[in-house]
Amino acid sequence: MGAIRSPRPVNLICGFISNDADLMQRAIRILTQYYGPTDTVSETWPFDDTDYYEPEMGTDLLRQFASFAELIDPGRLASIKVHTNEVENRIGYECGLPPGQRPVNLDPGYIELSKLVLATTKNGSHRIYLRDGIYAESTLHYREGKWKAWPHTYPDYASGRYDAFFEDLRNRYRIKLDALGETRRPEGGRL
């Protein structure tokens, strides 16, 4: 029988999609009020691997990520996703948009040593229900010294364009774990 242990803390991240870089910065500022300061914010990339969001958000979409300095319990992911949906609605309201239309998409998740997990409101065969209408998926996994996609991974994550940023986050996360003495505790897989 395996021993039940509390999980290691994880590194909270959030992805942003918008055609307005200022709105992404506004979203980051709002999130720091709740989750503390960021320790790094990525460059901005074109979000052009899919047109899924264009009917709602327009064209010329951009993607950016923020990493938060304070580690969190992974069990908080569902409540964080519920909150980021509220932030999307708040920003839409402040921009004068009709209810349900959003000018910025927020995708919270976390990085740990072996994977990158994202929260979503959409079910699928590869997603696990958490609570409050929120599901989680392992979007990328870390193996043989690099980030790897699954067959279900979103095209922009699978493209590899964010891998260097996620590698930097993984290294920062390891330093945070070392400071807590957490990297010596078994996780159940290879580090």
Domain for residue 189, yes or no? no
Domain for residue 148, yes or no? yes
Domain for residue 191, yes or no? no
Domain for residue 186, yes or no? no
Mean pLDDT confidence for 104-130: 97
Domain for residue 104, yes or no? yes
For residue 185, the model assigns a pLDDT of: 58
Mean pLDDT confidence for 44-50: 94
For residue 24, the model assigns a pLDDT of: 97
**Residue 183 pLDDT grade (very low, low, confident, very high; cuts 50, 70, 90):** low
The candidate with the shortest Cα–Cα distance to 88, out of 76, 103, 98, 110, is 103
The count of domains in the chain is: 1
* Cα 65 to Cα 40: distance, rounded to the nearest angstrom: 9
Q: Is the pLDDT of residue 184 over 80?
A: no
Domain for residue 102, yes or no? yes
Domain for residue 38, yes or no? yes
Which structural domain range is residue 131 located in? 10-180
